[in-house]
Amino acid sequence: MSSPDTPEPQNAPDSLSPEAIASIRDNLDEVAARAAAAAEASGRTSTDVQVLLATKTQPADKIRVALEHGFTLIGENKVQELVGKAEDLADLDHEAHLIGPLQKNKVNHTLRHAHCIQSVDNLELVTKINNRLEVLDSTVDIFVQVNTSREDSKSGIAPEEAEGLITELRGLSRMKLRGLMTIGLPGRTPEEIRPSYSDLRELREKLIASGVMPAEATELSMGMSNDFELAIAEGATMVRVGSSVFGARDYS
Ligand SMILES: *Cc1c(COP(=O)(O)O)cnc(C)c1O
């Protein structure tokens, strides 16, 4: 045993209290139950909707609790966090997605640790990713991020430009397009949020029907803690949930 005045290392596996661990597990069960109920209410089954855990700012030991509880999908916003936690979680079976903006100079690091990039929204980035994949002789799953809310001009391609981007990237065989991703309007009423989700579903239908998007690229990544049931009602196949599992984020 260590002497009483030896400080605990910050990332000791037992750095979480039993109560904190129990709380994460309870929250996971609740989110899974709510997602399953929403899937059934929309005429689908619980397996039609995956829950990805948005883990930005969360330490690896909290994420570990979730992965040991049976969840397998995590999403990071920053490449630095994606890379930083990868080693800590390497012993656990999981898939890491990048769900935040990707700068071209971070493509290398991202491809080393991410199974999927959900934030693909411009041709320059697509080209850079593909060139790097050629060098690595590797492949990556992607979603095209569409700015259906038209709020934050910085992330997501405009809906009317999605067709052009997808046409270009289909020629690049190292990227497997799984579907479309969007970020809804945060903290608004269901009436205000709903169109950004229904628009993404309609865009998917249009692009598949016209042959622009491959028929198997059916996935829709949309919905967060505050609105994931609404997103599922509008056809989400993957919801990205953070604070309702891990609690409020600490940005300090
Ligand atoms: C943080 C984040 C989420 C999850 O948000 P919560 O409100 O904590 O559930 C989902 N998607 C993206 C892109 C995010 O950055």
**Atom nearest to 243 CA in ligand 1:** 8
- What's the structural domain count of the chain? 1
For ligand 1, whether the C-beta of 125 sits within 6 Å is: no
With beta carbons less than 8 A apart as the criterion, state whether 64 and 28 touch. Answer: no
Question: What was the pLDDT predicted at 249?
Answer: 84
Q: Which tens digit of pLDDT belongs to each residue from 28-82? A: 999 999 999 999 999 999 999 999 999 999 999 999 999 999 999 999 999 999 9
- Cα separation, 181 vs 218, in Å, equals 11
User: Residue 172: which H helix or E strand, with range?
Assistant: none
For ligand 1, whether the C-beta of 99 sits within 6 Å is: yes
Question: What was the pLDDT predicted at 250?
Answer: 82
Question: What was the pLDDT predicted at 184?
Answer: 86
For ligand 1, whether the C-beta of 156 sits within 6 Å is: no
Specify if 179 maps to a domain: yes
Specify if 2 maps to a domain: no
- Please tell me the residue having the least CA distance from ligand 1 atom 13: 99
For ligand 1, whether the C-beta of 122 sits within 6 Å is: no
Q: How far is the CA of 1 from the centre of ligand 1 (A)?
A: 40
- Please tell me the residue having the least CA distance from ligand 1 atom 12: 99
**Taking Cα atoms as reference points, which of 158, 189, 164, 174 lies closest to residue 111?**
174
> What pTM was estimated for this model as a whole?
0.93
- As given in the structure block, the two tokens for residue 169 are 């990237």
**Atom nearest to 225 CA in ligand 1:** 9
Q: Determine the structural domain holding residue 26 and report its residue range.
A: 18-246
Q: How far is the CA of 242 from the centre of ligand 1 (A)?
A: 6
Query: With 70 as the cut, is the pLDDT of residue 16 above it?
Result: yes
- Please tell me the residue having the least CA distance from ligand 1 atom 2: 54
111 three-class SS: helix
**Taking Cα atoms as reference points, which of 101, 76, 240, 14 lies closest to residue 85?**
76
Specify if 141 maps to a domain: yes
**Atom nearest to 249 CA in ligand 1:** 8
Specify if 38 maps to a domain: yes
For ligand 1, whether the C-beta of 133 sits within 6 Å is: no
97 phi and psi angles, rounded to 5 deg: -115, 145
**Atom nearest to 224 CA in ligand 1:** 9
Specify if 124 maps to a domain: yes
105 CB contacts (<8 Å, ≥6 apart)? Answer: none
Specify if 10 maps to a domain: no
Specify if 100 maps to a domain: yes
Radius of gyration of the chain (CA): 19
For ligand 1, whether the C-beta of 175 sits within 6 Å is: no
With beta carbons less than 8 A apart as the criterion, state whether 175 and 191 touch. Answer: no
Question: What was the pLDDT predicted at 185?
Answer: 83
More confidently predicted of 7 and 162? 162
- Cα separation, 46 vs 220, in Å, equals 15
What's 122's domain CATH number?
Answer: 3.20.20.10
Residue 147, judged by CB atoms within 10 A of its CB (0-12, 13-18, 19+), counts as buried
Q: Which tens digit of pLDDT belongs to each residue from 112-153? A: 999 999 999 999 999 999 999 999 999 999 999 999 987 766
Q: Grade residue 98 by pLDDT with cuts at 50, 70 and 90.
A: very high
Averaged pLDDT, 1-6 = 47
For ligand 1, whether the C-beta of 159 sits within 6 Å is: no
Specify if 252 maps to a domain: no
Q: Tokens 């656990």 appear where?
A: 92
